């Protein structure tokens, strides 16, 4: 409850002098000091200050009430434009938290004169006290200081006419004002400390929240990244498996077509040749013209047979399973030499032997692709093929003296995938092997290696 609402009348009803009774303090007969009571009260205050600084101002006003013939006691602290009633004991207890204007109040007068003052009926000068209940008969106000600056007052009020303050009360209040200063400073320091602690706690919390938000972001980011990575890896594996499947299918298909050409078409051509031959023999004596034509047709048919055999053989090395990799390469190279004019050299380890199922075909296809590339792209008219076992690996090298593979072509080959260089890579990887491409402007060397596994040089 405040005595001074915002629209309170702040015009003095009377002069300060007319309401002051300070002189009476010294004229009235003074009661003797009760040091025992005073000391015990001060001791209680010191204990309260040490144990519960937040409530020490209330303890102080209780002590004023106890030591002085007062019926209300309080502590007013200057805060902005008001004197704030920080603690009140006694009959005016319900006014705690209220206050008076900093420029027009008993406290203001005490601070401006900077000494204790005894007031009579305060409402005579300060109109806003007229509603105070009970009204004030006398009020003794004593300033207190922090670092030499008056910051508030402690006060004792008598509401009955019988109660009068004297010089002993002034002495007591002065002694208590020193304690008020100490108590108030303590409260201030504690509030400041609390603010620091709570702002520290706030920043600590903020930091913790920021930290955990950051951590969440990082975690969800890395989870997404991991998921993406997994997806990419999965796709890469799928693509690789698909490529291998495709090549296996391609091999099977080539093999099927090769067999078809060799067995079915080849057999029919053989029959046709036999027919033509007997027809030609018959026609030899009777129809020389027809005989000549038939001989021509026989020749054509032989060419077709050759062509079909070559195609069949290119599509699938027909004897790979039977004669093994080295011989198959030799035969293939012989055919290529004839057809392309490439001077190809084979340097195969004499006891190279046989490789496990599938590996021979893989190396054969790599050799085939490399030599085709040499023929198509390198510009080289020579090539060297090396085949050996080394360190548990089967190694095939194809070298040319051409213009080398451009970086662009290498990149392109990598990104296209599935054919040529990339296809070779996949074939080898399927068996745990790898492809190494060394290329300079004066030539290219491709090195394919496959782990031999359990196979021996002698075979299977």
Which residues make up the interface to ligand ATP (CB under 6 A)? 373-374, 377-378, 400, 402-405, 409, 413, 419-421, 444
Q: Could you check whether the bond before residue 322 is cis, i.e. omega within 30 degrees of 0?
A: no
Whether omega for the bond prior to residue 244 falls within 30 degrees of 0, making it cis, is no
Q: Cα separation of 370 and 151, whole Å?
A: 99
User: Residue 158 or 374: which CB sits closer to ligand ATP?
Assistant: 374
Contacted entry of ligand ATP, Mg ion, none for residue 353, CB cut-off 5 to 8 Å set by kind: none
Interacting partner of 280 out of Mg ion, ligand ATP, none (Cβ under 5 to 8 A depending on kind): none
405 binds, among Mg ion, ligand ATP, none (CB under 5 to 8 A by kind): ligand ATP
Whether the CA torsion 313, 317, 318, 324 is positive or negative: it is positive
E strand map for 30-161: 72-79, 82-90, 99-101, 117-119, 138-146, 149-158
Q: Which residues contact 301 (CB under 8 A, 6 or more apart)?
A: 269, 272, 273, 276
373 binds Mg ion (CB under 5 A): yes
Question: Is the CB of 190 or the CB of 440 nearer to ligand ATP?
Answer: 440
Which of Mg ion, ligand ATP, none has residue 374 at its interface (CB below 5 to 8 Å by kind)? ligand ATP
User: CB-based contacts of 79: which residues, under 8 Å, 6+ apart?
Assistant: 99
Give me the least distance between CB of 441 and ligand ATP, in Å please.
Answer: 10
Residue (21 or 342) nearer to ligand ATP, CB: 342
Radius of gyration of the chain (CA): 57
- 383-422 mask for Mg ion (x: CB under 5 A)? -------------------------------------x--
CB atoms within 10 A of CB 271: 10
Distance in Å, CB of 320 to ligand ATP, minimum: 21
Work out how close the CB of 239 gets to ligand ATP at its nearest, in angstroms, rounded to a whole number.
Answer: 16
Q: Is 439 in the site for Mg ion (CB under 5 A)?
A: no
* Distances in whole angstroms, Cα of residue 79 to Cα of each of 97, 101, 374, 434: 12, 10, 97, 85
Nearer to ligand ATP among residue 171 and residue 377 (C-beta): 377
State the nearest-atom distance from the C-beta of 266 to Mg ion, in Å. Answer: 29
Q: Provide the binding-site residues for Mg ion, judged by CB under 5 A.
A: 373, 420
């Amino acid at each position: 409850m405040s005595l001074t609402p915002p629209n309170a009348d702040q015009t003095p009803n009377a002069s300060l002098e007319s309401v002051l009774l300070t002189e009476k303090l010294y004229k009235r007969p003074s009661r003797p000091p009760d040091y025992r009571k005073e000391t015990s009260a001060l001791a209680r205050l010191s204990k309260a200050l040490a144990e519960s600084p937040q409530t020490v101002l209330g303890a102080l006003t209780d002590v004023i009430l106890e030591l002085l013939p007062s019926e209300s006691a309080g502590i007013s602290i200057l805060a902005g434009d008001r004197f704030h009633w920080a603690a009140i004991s006694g009959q005016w207890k319900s006014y705690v938290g209220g206050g008076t204007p900093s420029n027009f109040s008993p406290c203001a007068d005490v601070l401006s004169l900077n000494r204790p003052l005894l007031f009579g009926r305060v409402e005579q000068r300060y109109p806003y006290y007229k509603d105070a209940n009970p009204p004030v008969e006398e009020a003794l106000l004593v300033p207190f200081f922090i670092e030499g600056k008056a910051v508030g007052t402690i006060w004792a009020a008598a509401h009955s006419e019988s109660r009068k303050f004297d010089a002993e009360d002034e002495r007591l209040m002065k002694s208590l004002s020193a304690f008020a200063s100490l108590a108030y400073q303590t409260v201030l320091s504690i509030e400041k400390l609390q603010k620091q602690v709570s702002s520290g706690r706030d920043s600590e919390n903020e930091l913790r929240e920021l930290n955990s938000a950051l951590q969440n972001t990082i975690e969800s980011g890395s989870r997404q990244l991991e998921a993406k990575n997994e997806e990419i890896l999965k796709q890469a594996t799928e693509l690789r498996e698909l490529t291998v499947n495709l090549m296996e299918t391609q091999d099977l298909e080539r093999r099927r077509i090769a067999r078809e050409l060799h067995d079915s078409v080849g057999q029919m051509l053989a029959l046709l040749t036999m027919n033509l031959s007997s027809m030609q023999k018959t026609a030899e004596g009777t129809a020389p013209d027809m005989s000549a034509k038939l001989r021509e047709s026989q020749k054509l048919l032989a060419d077709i047979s050759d062509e079909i055999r070559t195609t069949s053989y290119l599509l699938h090395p027909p004897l790979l399973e039977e004669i093994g990799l080295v011989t198959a390469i030799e035969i293939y190279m012989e055919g290529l030499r004839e057809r392309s004019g490439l001077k190809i050299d084979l340097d195969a380890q004499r006891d190279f032997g046989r490789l496990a199922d599938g590996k021979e075909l893989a190396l054969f296809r790599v050799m085939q692709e490399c030599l085709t590339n040499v023929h198509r792209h390198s510009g080289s008219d020579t090539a060297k093929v090396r085949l050996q076992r080394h360190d548990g690996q089967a190694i095939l090298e194809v070298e040319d003296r051409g213009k080398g593979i451009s970086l662009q072509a290498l990149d392109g080959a990598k990104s296209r995938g599935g054919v040529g260089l990339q296809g070779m890579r996949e074939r080898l990887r399927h068996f745990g092997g790898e492809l190494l491409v060394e290329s300079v402007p004066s030539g290219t060397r491709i090195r394919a290696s496959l782990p031999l596994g359990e196979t021996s040089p002698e075979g299977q």
